[in-house]
Structure 1
């Protein structure tokens, strides 16, 4: 399997177009054509991670944080970044990063953190875009209706809210005349054929159009499939950074802080606010969330869980009456096992997947 195949499979989960404009997700070093047999999933790409990859014969590193974030004007192999690039190229290791697209995707980093912290009934905290929706109308002989509907549903068509396989079906007659060069499933060349058919209507996100049309054509018995596509004004699934939801069991700010330490396996958290305050509504933003204190304070969140909180932004939250718990940036490590499990479900042979054991947390608690 090539690197481009692994990337394609991953981006079915977290499409590249979900990444923010300022981000640098995507291929970092190497080639899309690289033949891959072993993938290592990591939060960061640092020297110790690359050394581990070399030792374990890894040929593809999947990272959350891009190793190339700012533009490079020169690759000086005497510099830390230059040495890292040289090492990767020398050992023919391709590096790909999925940053903000993995943050905002459904079941991405934001949802992973919410699940670990028992936050339920979540909504997107900072919406950025939504799926563009299409209506697909397909005409299918009655003998193959169930097969076609199953193929459409299995490949992502027919999702409305928390319901799947949403479709509408009407019966009628289809008419066609096979011409020279055809190999009709029903009928004879040069003769008009009338067939009992069903009109199947369903909804789909634009990003899955090609996958769903491929599934339709494979399940449909005709060599030429008749279908229509209509653009819709309905709002599709909303994507964006962070989540806000309800804590499964209400507790004090102090108790929730200790709960976070345990669940996220961190040695300490920094907390602002009244420790005896009751916490029910929780806003979560993985990574660095210090720039969004005012926006979160305008919601109904009792507490804001995020990393990299600075002194003045913490004071702002305090003044606004917003409690904050800062467990650090490194808690995004929750993505490592989740991404590995996703790949192992999608790719069952030819490629093995491991999680990096290298510690990339820069801080030590003394």
Structure 2
């Protein structure tokens, strides 16, 4: 009797597949992406996809028996002089190594990919006719192929800003921060620009793209106020984690399609804001 079992991929195989989907040279120069730690020859049977590699998601990876974590946000974005176990990041590194769990990061290279982080966000909102909010610069490694930061698309059903805010809240993962909007509640929104993660650097681009509203995370008071005063699109501000969580489903699906692995998605809300109350209530 012939054994038809398929051998699991090695870490190097999964890394190569992820690098092909999200080439490292598509990342911003300041970014730190790719394999962070792990033995290249170790087999991978279970992958956990997370937004943040934090103690809680590492504990989840250990609990599910993961061999590899695929994270969106870099663990070691800024230089460190030590990963001693009495430091925050050092404790994470030590636990991953002791549990034999590799760590891979796809960050700004996944942001500009097509499909990428903002495509997954747009899909949650049923947007059609997608195009980049900020196309990758001509001559850059990511140029062409519909790649670039953010996406602009059309709502299946135009709706006033107030209704759109409720629609977004229903369709994105729940967080304590919820969804807030700025602008005329009755403004009709047909064309919506979206950007996974912090997006106030693209406020002017949303206006130039002809969007009626722009959705992203981490909007600040003064840039938002000045943008609206200048007649820019209405704004929707969502939790950073909620805007990037949809992409994890895409990554897990792609890995399942390519390898005989169990690819899981973490729904642990790693947004730092955990309590919401309305002033004066």
TM-score over 0.5 for the pair: yes
Indicate the RMSD between aligned Cα atoms, in angstroms: 2.0
Does the CA-based 8 Å contact 2:241-2:269 persist in structure 1? no
Structure-2 residue corresponding to 1:106:
114
- Which stretches in structure 1 are left out of the alignment for 5+ residues? 133-205, 208-234
Structure-2 residue corresponding to 1:337:
249
Q: Deviations over 1:277-308 (max 9, x none)?
A: 11011111110012222232333111110000
* 2:271 paired with 1:361: yes
SS of the counterpart of 1:62? strand
Structure-2 residue corresponding to 1:324:
235
2:62 is aligned, of 39, 54, 66, to 54
Structure-2 residue corresponding to 1:346:
258
Q: Supply the distance in 1 between the matched residues of 2:210 and 2:123 (Cα, whole angstroms).
A: 20
Taking structure 2 as the reference length, the TM-score comes to 0.88
Does the CA-based 8 Å contact 1:131-1:237 persist in structure 2? no
Q: Report how many aligned residue pairs link the two structures.
A: 264
Q: Deviations over 1:172-214 (max 9, x none)?
A: xxxxxxxxxxxxxxxxxxxxxxxxxxxxxxxxxx99xxxxxxx
Deviation, structure 1 residue 126: 0.9
Deviation, structure 1 residue 17: 2.1
2:179 is aligned, of 250, 260, 269, to 269
Q: Supply the distance in 2 between the matched residues of 1:357 and 1:246 (Cα, whole angstroms).
A: 28
Q: Supply the distance in 2 between the matched residues of 1:18 and 1:129 (Cα, whole angstroms).
A: 11
Bigger radius of gyration among the two: 1
SS of the counterpart of 2:223? helix
Q: Supply the distance in 2 between the matched residues of 1:294 and 1:353 (Cα, whole angstroms).
A: 38
Q: Supply the distance in 2 between the matched residues of 1:313 and 1:25 (Cα, whole angstroms).
A: 29
Does the CA-based 8 Å contact 1:293-1:316 persist in structure 2? no
SS of the counterpart of 1:86? helix
Taking structure 1 as the reference length, the TM-score comes to 0.68
SS of the counterpart of 2:270? coil
Matches within 5 A, 1:159-174: none
More divergent stretch after superposition (298-307 vs 266-275): 266-275
2:202 is aligned, of 265, 288, 292, to 292
Q: Supply the distance in 2 between the matched residues of 1:281 and 1:53 (Cα, whole angstroms).
A: 39
Structure-2 residue corresponding to 1:91:
99
1:41 is aligned, of 37, 42, 49, to 49
Q: Supply the distance in 1 between the matched residues of 2:268 and 2:174 (Cα, whole angstroms).
A: 16
- Which stretches in structure 2 are left out of the alignment for 5+ residues? 1-8, 277-281
SS of the counterpart of 1:254? helix
* 2:260 paired with 1:252: no
2:23 is aligned, of 9, 12, 15, to 15
